[in-house]
């Protein structure tokens, strides 16, 4: 359902911005638990949106580093990092 993904992505975007501003690394976990109590579908869509947005940020950070310093300084995180 497109509505679930749209709402979950908007919530993920706001939650990640709040985490960055406050440094509260547990915020997405707390939100996930709160929404999962009433909608497991929304919870999964939220967690997926959080993962996708974090991965996109890592990719953009690497690209920015590459553009600034070239290939030799670009380092990726271990494949298990999320």
pLDDT digits (tens, 9 = 90+) for 23-43: 999 999 999 999 999 999 999
Looking up tokens 């709160």, which residue turns up?
A: 34
Q: Which two tokens stand for residue 57?
A: 């940020």
| Residue 82 located in a structural domain | no
What is the pTM (predicted TM-score) of this model?
A: 0.81
CB-CB contact of 27 with 12 (8 Å): no
Q: How far apart are CA 75 and CA 20, in angstroms?
A: 22
- Average pLDDT of the chain? 90
Alpha helices (H) in 37-70, listed in sequence order:
40-69
For residue 42, give its domain range. Answer: 2-67
| Residue 73 located in a structural domain | no
| Residue 6 located in a structural domain | yes
| Residue 23 located in a structural domain | yes
The helix-helix angle for 2-22 and 27-36 (nearest 10°) equals 150
Q: Is the pLDDT of residue 82 over 50?
A: no
Q: Which two tokens stand for residue 35?
A: 């929404």
Confidence of residue 70 (pLDDT cuts 50, 70, 90): confident
């Amino acid at each position: 359902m497109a509505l679930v993904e749209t709402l979950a992505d908007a919530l993920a975007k706001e939650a990640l911005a709040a985490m960055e501003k406050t440094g509260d690394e547990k915020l997405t976990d707390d939100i996930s638990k709160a929404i999962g109590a009433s909608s497991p579908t929304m919870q999964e869509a939220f967690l997926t949106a959080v993962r996708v947005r974090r991965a996109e940020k890592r990719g953009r950070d690497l690209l920015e580093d590459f553009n600034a310093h070239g290939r030799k300084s670009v380092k990726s995180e271990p494949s298990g990092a999320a």
